[in-house]
Every structure is written in structure tokens, then in C-alpha cells.
Structure 1
Amino acid sequence: MNQQCQLAAAFFLVLALVGCGAAQATKDGSADAAKWAFTTKIKTMNIDLLARSSLNPNRNGQSLSTVIRIYQLKNADQFEKLDYTQLQHNDVDLLQPELLMTKGLVLRPDASVSISEPMNSDTEYIGIVAFFRDAAPTSQWKLVVPKKQWKKTDPVRIEVRENSLSLI
């Protein structure tokens, strides 16, 4: 009888230990499922740039092309602190270690450009800069779009008019 009690006690002890492990695995699995469901999973950066005919005017009012740079960033703090000249001449060095990717293009007046690039999994923000001929301190030459705001189905649409960028 004593041996049967010991065997039963050992069985229940093993069962209890297995149950604890299963409960922990379930708890971890539930946390992973919740993280998957509520984390923004964007794999592609889709941007539509729409230039108006009044893009980047010179002193005579003639519209000119402008250089646009797009940055994938882990954090936007440094990007937001940098001024026009710093980003124009030394962006890659000054944005380290937050910079994950950069893309440059030239946008012509009254034209549109669609960009589709892989989104780095560590990207939390997209920074967009337009290097206008005359970037007045009051003009909106720089934008930050949080990854949380990104929609999977629609591209982010940005209008470029005169010396200003704006989300549309």
C-alpha cells in the first residue's frame, strides 16, 4: 500500500509540473498572439507624391523641379532637430544610428511619382524632405509620418505645392 501511495504521489507531482509548463506556454502564446494582432505589420512603403504646377517657383514665378529625399527611421527625434542645410549636405552621417534607408528623387512641376519600397521591420517613422530653391522658415519643407499612421491598402499621399509639403 505504501508503494502505491508513493507511486500516486509521484504521478501527481509530475502532472502538476507538466501543468505549470503548459500554463506558461499558453500564457506566452497568448502574449505573442496579442502582439501579432495589435502591432503594425507594414511590409511595403507606398508613397504617392503629387506636384502642383506651382512647384518650387523662382523669382520670376517659373516652376522648377525639386529634390525629394525619403528616410526610413527607427526614431524621428534627430530628424526633427536637423535643419535644412544639415539635411541637404550631411543627412546620412547626422541621422545615424536611426537611419535605416534613404531614397532620393527629382520631382517635376505638375507631375506625380509613386514609390513602393520594402519597409524595414525596424522602421517606426518615415521622414520626407523637399529641398526647395527658397525654403522660407515658415514653409513646410519636412514631414514625419509615423508607421502607426500608415495604411496597408492605401499609399500615403503627399502634395508638393510652391515651397510646401502636405499630407492629403
Structure 2
Amino acid sequence: MPTMKFQNLKIASVMMGMGVVLFGVQGCGSTAQEMRLALKGTNRLNLTESGQPAPTSVRIYTLRESQRFQKATYKDLKDKDTAELGDDLIHRDELTVQPEESQQFEVIVDREKEEKFIGIMVLFRQYPKGVWRLTIPVEEKGVFSIGAQKFTFELTDHTIRQIEPD
């Protein structure tokens, strides 16, 4: 009988060890997280002089800090964003949003790599009349975070605004 207790103790030790290893692996998981952006163009997107909606370009920046992005002029970001943002710029993408259509865009960010903000710039024709940029802080990835963060934006006239997701 003493060997039976020893075997049970041995099995229990192995099981406990596996639990520690599995917990450790879970704790050492990736700190990267997915952010899903939905950009919805309305029937009044980027109106031309004749009042017709037109497509517009949207730039999505991954940033270390947001101050330079927030302080930069429209013209400086449009013409020389790399120089203007300097070492705050980590990555830049550009896409086109059509009137009455939605564009889905996924950004993978990692706060441990200093990716702290997402900057969105819309290249509207009449930018001085509206809101042409937004900044989204990248949240700390929580222990119980499940799935991607989702953000929905409406592009109308010469303004981008965050709305509730569908």
C-alpha cells in the first residue's frame, strides 16, 4: 500500500506542476490587441462644389504619443506627416472611403511596443469647416479582455465622428 500513496502523491505533483506551467504560459501571452475600425461614408461625404458626394482618403496612424498629431496643421499632416510626427509615428496606413459605403480596418497594437494611440485623419475637401482628425487611446490589455476593441465612425460632409457600433 505505501507505493500506492507514493504514486498518488507523484501524480498530484505532476498535475500541480502542469497547472503552474499552464498558468505561466497564459500569463506570458501576447500583449498585442486588435482594434477594429468601421468607417461609414454617408451620402453627404466630402461634397464637391456641385453638392455631389465624393470618396475621400483616410489615414490611420499608430502613434507613441498624440501631442504632435493633435497640434499639427491639416496641411502639414497632409503634405509631410512623417516629418511632422517624427519618432511618435510608428506606422501609417491609407484607405479610401466611398459615399454610402463602409470600410472595415483592423489595427494590431501593443502598448509594450509603445503603441499608445491611434490617430485618424480624413482628407476632406473642405477641412476647415469640420472635424478632420480624431485620436483613440490604446487601452491597457486587461486580464479579462476578450476579443477586439470595436470603434465605428461616421464620415459626413466634412466631419468624422464616433458613433455607436451596429
| TM-score between the two structures when normalised by the length of structure 2 | 0.71
Q: Which runs of 4+ in 1 moved over 2 A?
A: 148-154
SS at match of 1:85: helix
Shift of 1:42: 4.7
Which is greater in Rg? 1
Aligned match for 2:57, one of 57, 67, 81:
67
Shift of 1:125: 0.7
Alpha carbons of 1:149 and 1:106: their partners in 2 closer, same or farther (altered >3 Å)?
A: farther
Unaligned 5+ segments in structure 1 are 1-35
Alpha carbons of 1:143 and 1:149: their partners in 2 closer, same or farther (altered >3 Å)?
A: farther
After superposition, the C-alpha distances for 1:14-50 in whole angstroms (9 at most, x for unaligned) are xxxxxxxxxxxxxxxxxxxxxx8xxxx5522311111
Aligned match for 2:160, one of 151, 162, 165:
165
Distance in 2 separating the partners of 1:153 and 1:97 = 27
Distance in 2 separating the partners of 1:51 and 1:149 = 30
Contact residue 38 and residue 105 of structure 2 kept, 8 A: yes
Match of 2:134 in 1: 143
Match of 1:124 in 2: 116
Distance in 2 separating the partners of 1:48 and 1:42 = 20
Distance in 1 separating the partners of 2:77 and 2:87 = 15
Unaligned 5+ segments in structure 2 are 1-26
Distance in 1 separating the partners of 2:34 and 2:60 = 14
Output the amino acid matched with 2:72: L
Identity of aligned residues (%): 24
Cα RMSD (Å): 2.1
Aligned match for 2:100, one of 106, 110, 117:
110
Alignment of 1:1-168 (within 5 A): 41-120=31-110, 121-136=113-128, 138-148=129-139, 152-168=147-163
How many corresponding residue pairs? 129
